[in-house]
Every structure is written in structure tokens, then in C-alpha cells.
């Protein structure tokens, strides 16, 4: 970690710890002064790190000018809990300062009465922009884009462009170039600011604009937007409709929000949780959110137990089988999760298509065969040293091979199948895989033992 990163980390930790101490000591005036210098994104992190009572106290101390931007950084559940306690006048004041795309995202999460109150308070112009944003599907470029974009025509000179820029008091954040359109508003390309500053003023825009700065269709998904920015190394990109009309732009800070949301989603989905979940939510609410996942896991656990129950007589006669059963299931689970993780990552990066999925499946199954043969020898050797029984050693070795092959096949088949069905593999893939490896592992081990040892 660099020295600058260490300093930033110390500041963030100090601010959070200091906030707790000042709240506990009721030194609210000093805390209010401290909060005035904290960036909205960090304020959001601090709010999400507090229990409900302290969170509400801290929110009331945040300057009104920073409140609206802080709301946009909060996860939905935390933001809604704060909005529920806000007076209508305060909520309307915060809403009026929001970017249209942030406002659109928030409006969909609000109760209908609150939403209606806000809509009635908006000006006709803002309401029109809001309706336009809401007309696009959530999670697409049209919803994410901002309308704060400076356009120039392709048939004017740089002198005209410079005079036009001087009219503006300031440029929108992340303005690395100007969007070029024709007289009808059709997107033509992008004029980078460094070109404006380094070329002769008599040069026409069309001679310097870059046509390689491709625009993003308004129906493009957030995931594809992130890949687009990663591959193109852009700071901002135009958003167009199906007729190539310029609608707005997406900037790098929007992509950072997408990447954070995707990382949260991947982490939380693996445990069956919502990425918007509030860590400090009330007990009953958190319990309800987790109960469904526990119920699903219970069903799969009983399925594995049912398979073991089918061979209860075998286990009763050969006690060593009960000792070794977890080894077979565990080896399959680990091998399968490796394949599952790599496949989900490949799907997320658009690296897996119908053209290469069969090759990848053959490769993973072959890896399962090789690993199965290697570890079957190791496990069989340990079993022989432990129980001095050649039959048990051979059975567990064969079961290891079978389960690792099944785990590899399931590890790639499950996410591909779920993806084709429109189901997020990160959400339910691990549960299905665990069920497969447990059932196949127990059935192969106990089935072989029943067949050849009794």
C-alpha cells in the first residue's frame, strides 16, 4: 500500500471512529463541523457503518447541501430507511439537487405516496427529463446516462468552439471531449479537448473529430457498458438511440458505480443475500431475508441425507464408510467450485460463447479425470494405512474419480444452463453444485461399497 493510500485509510478510519465517539459524548457541534469536510461518498460509507439510532442522529447533522449527493451513494435499503423519517420539505429539497439518473433510480424504490408527492413538486422541465429516464429499462445505458453533455456541430471551426466554451461558467465533470453532432442532432464523433487546444483555430471540427469514439446504444446493459469502457479506455462516451440521435453521455464515475455494484452482487449472491442489504438492519428484517436461503439449503441437505439413508445397512455394517464419506463429498465440492467460479467469471466477461463452450467443457472434464486419478491414489493410500482394508481403499478411490468427473461436468454445465434460462448463476449455482457433488459422492461411495464389500 502506498503512502497516499495509508493516509486516506487513516483519515477514513479516524472519521468513522471519531463520529462514534462524538455521538456517544453528544458533542454534536464538533461532529457537524467534521462532517462538513467529508466527501459524500465517504459520508455514505459512514452512515452504512452505523446502527439505526446513531445513523439517524448523524444524518440530521449532515449539511443540507451535501445530503442529496450522499443519498445517491447509499444502498437502497439504507437510503429508504433515512427517507422514511425525512420531512416532506427536506426530501423535496434534496431531490431537486439530484442528477436525473440518480433521481430515477431512487424514485422506483420509494413508496407510491412519497413518489407522487415528489413528482408533484418537480418543475415541468425536470419532470419531463425524469419521465424520459424512467422510460428506459433499469440497468441500461438510457437509465444510467446523464444529459450534462456539451455538443458542437461538425461544420464549425475551432474558433467558434472556443467562443462557445467561454460562454459556460464551468464544464461538466469528466469532460475530456465534446460530442459532435450534425444539424439534425445525429451523433458524428467526439472532439477531444486536447485537439481543441493544440490546433489552429481555423480548423474545422470534422477534420479533428474522432470517429473511433463509438457511441453506446441506449438499451446496452450496465455489464456491457463496463466491458466497453474497460476495452476502450474512455473517460466518457456518448449514448444514442436506435436512430443514432445523441441522448446523453456516460462517464467513468458511472462505470465505477457499476463495478462496485457487480462486486457486491457477486459476493452477496454467493450466500443468497441481496447486495443492497443493510448490515445494521433490524433483527427481524435481516432474519426474514436469510430464512429463504436457509430453507433451500435445508431441502438440499435432506436430499443428501436421503441418499445416505438408502445405504444405512451398509454404513451400519462397515463403520469405516461413515468416517470416509465426508472426504468424497468434500473433494467433489472443492473441485466443482473451482470450475463453477471460472465459468461464472468467463460468462461475466463474455468470454464463453456457443463456439467455445463445448471445448471448455471437454477441458474441464479432462481435468476432472486427471485430478480424480491423482487424488484417488492419495486418498486410497491413506485409507489403507488407516483401516488396513484393500476393498475400502479401492472403493473410495473409485468414488473419488467418479465424483471429481461429475463435479467438473456440473461446474460448467450448471452456470451455462442457468445463464441460458436467464437466471444469475452466482445466485443459485453453488447450491445446485453442492447438491450434485454430495449426492453423486455419497451414492458412488456407498453404492460401490454395497456392491463389492458386502
Same domain, 131 and 36: yes
Q: Are residues 226 and 355 in the same domain?
A: no
C-alpha span between 203 and 44 (Å, rounded): 46
In this structure, what is the dihedral angle of CA atoms 373, 374, 378, 380, given to the nearest 10 degrees? 0
What is the per-residue pLDDT for 249? 92
Q: For the domain that residue 201 is a member of, what is the CATH number?
A: 3.10.580.10
Predicted pLDDT of residue 269? 63
Quote the pLDDT of residue 334. 92
Averaged pLDDT, 146-150:
86
CA distances from 403 to 205, 209, 235, 332, 408 (A): 64, 59, 48, 5, 9
CATH number of the domain at 346, please.
1.10.357.20
**Number of domains, the chain:** 3
Q: Is 411 inside a domain boundary?
A: yes
Residue 39 lies in a domain: yes
**Chain-centroid distance, C-alpha 207:** 40
At 170-210, the pLDDT tens digits run 888 888 899 999 988 899 999 999 999 899 999 999 999 98
Q: Are residues 54 and 126 in the same domain?
A: yes
Largest CA distance in the chain: 95
Check whether residue 315 and residue 355 sit in a common domain: yes
Q: What is the pLDDT of residue 405?
A: 95
Residue 448 lies in a domain: yes
Q: Is residue 265 part of a domain?
A: no
CA distance 339 to 208: 48
Please state, for a pLDDT cut of 70, what percent of the chain lies above it: 93
Q: What is the CATH number of the domain that holds 42?
A: 1.25.60.10
> Is residue 3's pLDDT more than 60?
no
Q: Are residues 186 and 123 part of one domain?
A: no
Which of 85, 116, 139 marks a domain boundary? 139
pLDDT at res. 80: 81
Instruction: Give the pLDDT confidence score for residue 390 in this predicted structure.
Output: 92
> Residue 410 phi/psi, 5° resolution?
-70, -35
Do 301 and 413 lie in a common domain?
yes
Look up residue 214 and give its DSSP letter: P
Q: Where are the alpha helices (DSSP H) in 25-51?
A: 28-35, 40-48
On whether both 172 and 54 belong to a single domain, the answer is no
Residue 270: CA count within 13 A, CB half-sphere: 9
**Secondary structure class of 139 (helix, strand, coil):** coil
Residues 416 and 299 in one domain: yes
Does 268 reside within a domain?
Answer: no
Structural domain containing residue 166? 151-252
Q: Smallest Cα–Cα separation from 307: which of 407, 444, 205, 139?
A: 444
> Is residue 266 in some structural domain?
no
| In a shared domain, residues 340 and 422 | yes
Question: Across the chain, what does the average pLDDT equal?
Answer: 85
Mean pLDDT lowest among 115-129, 229-243, 271-285, 344-358: 271-285
Average pLDDT over residues 406-414: 94
Kindly provide the b/e burial profile for residues 139-150, where b requires at least 16 CB atoms within 10 angstroms of the residue's own CB: bbbbbbbbeebb
Question: Is position 388 within any domain?
Answer: yes
Residue 454's CB is within 10 A of a number of other CB atoms, namely 10
In a domain, 146, yes or no: no
Give the span between the Cα atoms of 207 and 157, in whole angstroms. Answer: 10
Domain closes at, from 212, 236, 252: 252
Same domain, residue pair 380 and 417 = yes
Provide the terminal-to-terminal Cα distance of the chain, rounded to the nearest Å: 61
Of 102 and 162, the structure prediction assigns the larger pLDDT to: 162
Based on the fold, state whether residues 386 and 440 are members of the same structural domain.
yes
**115 and 42 co-located in one domain:** yes
Closest CA to 161 of 169, 174, 152, 170: 152
Amino acid at each position: 500500500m502506498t503512502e497516499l493510500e495509508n493516509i486516506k485509510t487513516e483519515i477514513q478510519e479516524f472519521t468513522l471512529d471519531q463520529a462514534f465517539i462524538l455521538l456517544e459524548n453528544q458533542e454534536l457541534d464538533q461532529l457537524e463541523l467534521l462532517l462538513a469536510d467529508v466527501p459524500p461518498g465517504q459520508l455514505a460509507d459512514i452512515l452504512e457503518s452505523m446502527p439505526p439510532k446513531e445513523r439517524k442522529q448523524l444524518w440530521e447533522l449532515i449539511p443540507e447541501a451535501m445530503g442529496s449527493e450522499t443519498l445517491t451513494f447509499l444502498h437502497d435499503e439504507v437510503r429508504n430507511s433515512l427517507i422514511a423519517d425525512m420531512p416532506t420539505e427536506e426530501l423535496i429539497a434534496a431531490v431537486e439537487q439530484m442528477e436525473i439518473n440518480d433521481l430515477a433510480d431512487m424514485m422506483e424504490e420509494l413508496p407510491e405516496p412519497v413518489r407522487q408527492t415528489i413528482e408533484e413538486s418537480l418543475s415541468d422541465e425536470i419532470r419531463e427529463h425524469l419521465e424520459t429516464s424512467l422510460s428506459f429499462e433499469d440497468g441500461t445505458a438510457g437509465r444510467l446516462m446523464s444529459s450534462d453533455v456539451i455538443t458542437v456541430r461538425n461544420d464549425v471551426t475551432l474558433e467558434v468552439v472556443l467562443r462557445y466554451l467561454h460562454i459556460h461558467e464551468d464544464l461538466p465533470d469528466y469532460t475530456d471531449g465534446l460530442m459532435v453532432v450534425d444539424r439534425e442532432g445525429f451523433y458524428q464523433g467526439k472532439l477531444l479537448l486536447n485537439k481543441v487546444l493544440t490546433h489552429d483555430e481555423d480548423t474545422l471540427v470534422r477534420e479533428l473529430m474522432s470517429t473511433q469514439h463509438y457511441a453506446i446504444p441506449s438499451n446496452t446493459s450496465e455489464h456491457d457498458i463496463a466491458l466497453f469502457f474497460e476495452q476502450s479506455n474512455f473517460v466518457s462516451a456518448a449514448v444514442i438511440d436506435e436512430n443514432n440521435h445523441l441522448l446523453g453521455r456516460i462517464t467513468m464515475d458511472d462505470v465505477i458505480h457499476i463495478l462496485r455494484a457487480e462486486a457486491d452482487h457477486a459476493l452477496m449472491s454467493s450466500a443468497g443475500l441481496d447486495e443492497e442489504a443493510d448490515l445494521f438492519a433490524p433483527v427481524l428484517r435481516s432474519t426474514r431475508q436469510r430464512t429463504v436461503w436457509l430453507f433451500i439449503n435445508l431441502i438440499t441437505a435432506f436430499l443428501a441425507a436421503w441418499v445416505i439413508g438408502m445405504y444405512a445397512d451398509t454404513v451400519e455394517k462397515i463403520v469405516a464408510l461413515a468416517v470416509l464419506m465426508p472426504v468424497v463429498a468434500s473433494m467433489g465440492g472443492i473441485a466443482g467450485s473451482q470450475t463453477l467460479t471460472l465459468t461464472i467469471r468467463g460468462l461475466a466477461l463474455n468470454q464463453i460463447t456457443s463456439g467455445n463452450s463445448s471445448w471448455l467443457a471437454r477441458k474441464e472434464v479432462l481435468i476432472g479425470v486427471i485430478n480424480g486419478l491423482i487424488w484417488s491414489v492419495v486418498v486410497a493410500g491413506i485409507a489403507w494405512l488407516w483401516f488396513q482394508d484393500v476393498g475400502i481403499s479401492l472403493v473410495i478411490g473409485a468414488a473419488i474419480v467418479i465424483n471429481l468427473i461429475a463435479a467438473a461436468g456440473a461446474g460448467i454445465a450448471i452456470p451455462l444452463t442457468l445463464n441460458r434460462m436467464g437466471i444469475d448463476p452466482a445466485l443459485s449455482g453453488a447450491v445446485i453444485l453442492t447438491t450434485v457433488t454430495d449426492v453423486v459422492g455419497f451414492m458412488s461411495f456407498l453404492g460401490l461399497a454395497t456392491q463389492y464389500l458386502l
